[in-house]
Amino acid sequence: MTSIKTQTAKISVIVPCYNVEPYIKRCLNSLLNQTLSNIEIICIDDKSTDNTLEILKDFAGKNAHIHLIEQAQNCGAAAARNAGIDAAVGEYIGFVDADDFVDDDFFEKLYHKATQTKADIVKANAKITDHDFTKRYDDLQINRIRLYGKWYFMYQWWTGLYRGELIKKNNIKFPEKIISGQDIVFLSLCVAAANKVELCPDTFYHYLRRSDSLDEPILSPQKIESKINAVKFISEIYNKSDMPDDAYSYCYHQRWVLLKSFIERNPSINCKRKVAEAFIEMYQNCKDKNKLIEAHLKYNAANKNYIHFITSGNSEAFLNYIIAHPDSSAQNTVDGYSYTLYLFGFLPLIKISKNTKKFTIKFLGLNLLKIRQTKNGYRINLLYIPILRIKRK
């Protein structure tokens, strides 16, 4: 059987694998069924302890498109993806997680868009299956990029197709020391280096949000520190890049607010202090502090009394204020709002959120009520159970 590696593949698809026995066959079948034929599939087994490796060997033995890499030890998703990048020969590089899958025409449409427009990055659309098996479109990123430009590609990095030369020429890798958040660092580096980002909204990446892979309400100190480092890394990218003023203000503020939210993700005072110090430091490093504060007051229903602690650089006073007012947190965004009532100052008790397509009430992380807008009307779920569907005429 002639290996696809003897040719120049149009696309290299990198699939990191660790203990994904229940999902990997569906993922690989979706890649082998791609309508674009000249594609290599690089599977990196990260020292799985279930039958993942045996399944990968079986697929690789039957399909010349699959290139299997076996890690000598478990090193994490970032190292696995980096091994795939080093091995990739494709003109473009894509990433699919082993528990996800893509439309059969996914890479053909992305590749054609990339070659026709000479884009460095092409972003597809996303369909997300939540852990309660409800499905939803998530085209918010598509709409923002269409309206405001490349810098608004801030999440859903897995929907992107990236020019191989862009990644390798700029030595872009997933930072292996950042155990949580390394993917959005990678995306930010790619976006900063890209001359052109295009959209392909008519093909979908199917993202499975597993109950055992959801972001925990309480994060370990290691994950808190990792997430702090990821946000700080990205803010440095913004500061070094020649961004339009509006894009800089919006993106920097979004990351800054994300950083602040980590205060509530671990009860340890040391963790909270590290977040508060990083939050103040990120404010001090901002190139337009006035606009940052204006955005914070506009989009966050936070008590204005702590703003002077931020502007004066007093992280301890800022933290003390947050600790003294722990009962609730409210945030307005350009797309809606979110209000959370905390128990003991850190455990989310009730969360009410609304955006352009969904209204949700959660109790202790469980969906009590979800009203979701669809293409044809509305769906209403009570305790994860669909109870009503309203169709537009």
Bigger pLDDT: 271 vs 368: 271
**Contact, 194 vs 237, CB < 8 A?**
no
Describe the chain by its helix, strand, coil percentages, rounded to 5. 40, 25, 30
Tokens encoding 381: 């779920």
332: CB partners within 8 A, 6+ apart:
298, 299, 300, 301
**Contact, 91 vs 9, CB < 8 A?**
yes
How high is the pLDDT of residue 212? 53
pLDDT at 36 over 80: yes
How high is the pLDDT of residue 5? 52
What span, in angstroms and rounded, lies between the C-alpha atoms of 315 and 297?
Answer: 18
What span, in angstroms and rounded, lies between the C-alpha atoms of 234 and 255?
Answer: 8
Bigger pLDDT: 264 vs 347: 264
pLDDT at 384 over 90: no
**Contact, 251 vs 243, CB < 8 A?**
yes
Burial pattern 76-89, b for ≥16 Cβ within 10 A else e, equals bbbbbbbbbbeebb
Q: In what order do the strands lie in the sheet with 347-354?
A: 328-333, 336-343, 347-354, 358-363, 366-373, 377-382, 385-391
Among the residue ranges 12-21, 119-128, 216-225, 300-309, the one predicted with the least confidence is: 300-309
What is the domain partition of the chain in residue ranges? 4-208, 217-324, 326-393
How high is the pLDDT of residue 141? 87
What span, in angstroms and rounded, lies between the C-alpha atoms of 336 and 317?
Answer: 30
Bigger pLDDT: 300 vs 317: 317
Return phi, psi of residue 267, to 5°: -75, -10
DSSP structure string for 275-329: HHHHHHHHHHH-S-HHHHHHHHHHH----GGGHHHHHTT-HHHHHHHHHHS-SEE
**Contact, 99 vs 208, CB < 8 A?**
yes
Instruction: Work out the burial of residue 275: count CB atoms within 10 Å of its CB; fewer than 13 is exposed, 13-18 middle, 19 or more buried.
Output: buried
**Contact, 9 vs 89, CB < 8 A?**
yes
What span, in angstroms and rounded, lies between the C-alpha atoms of 108 and 11?
Answer: 9
pLDDT tens string 60-69: 999 999 999 9
Query: Where are the alpha helices (H) located in the chain, listed in sequence order?
Result: 24-32, 52-62, 77-87, 106-117, 140-148, 164-169, 182-193, 221-240, 245-261, 269-285, 289-299, 307-311, 315-324
pLDDT at 264 over 60: yes
Mean pLDDT for 269-292 is 97
Cβ atoms within 10 Å of 278's Cβ, excluding its own: 23
Bigger pLDDT: 393 vs 49: 49
The proportion of the chain whose per-residue pLDDT surpasses 90, expressed as a percent, equals 68
pLDDT at 221 over 60: yes
pLDDT tens string 357-376: 677 888 766 777 878 776 66
How high is the pLDDT of residue 393? 54
Mean pLDDT for 108-113 is 98
pLDDT at 6 over 60: no
pLDDT band at 38 (very low <50, low <70, confident <90, very high): very high
Mean pLDDT computed over every residue of the chain: 88
Return phi, psi of residue 301, to 5°: -80, 50
Residue among 96, 88, 126, 94 at smallest CA distance from 16? 96
Mean pLDDT for 206-216 is 66
Q: 4-208 belongs to which homologous superfamily?
A: Spore Coat Polysaccharide Biosynthesis Protein SpsA; Chain A (3.90.550.10)
pLDDT at 325 over 90: no
The residue type at 370: K
DSSP-derived 3-state class of residue 200: strand
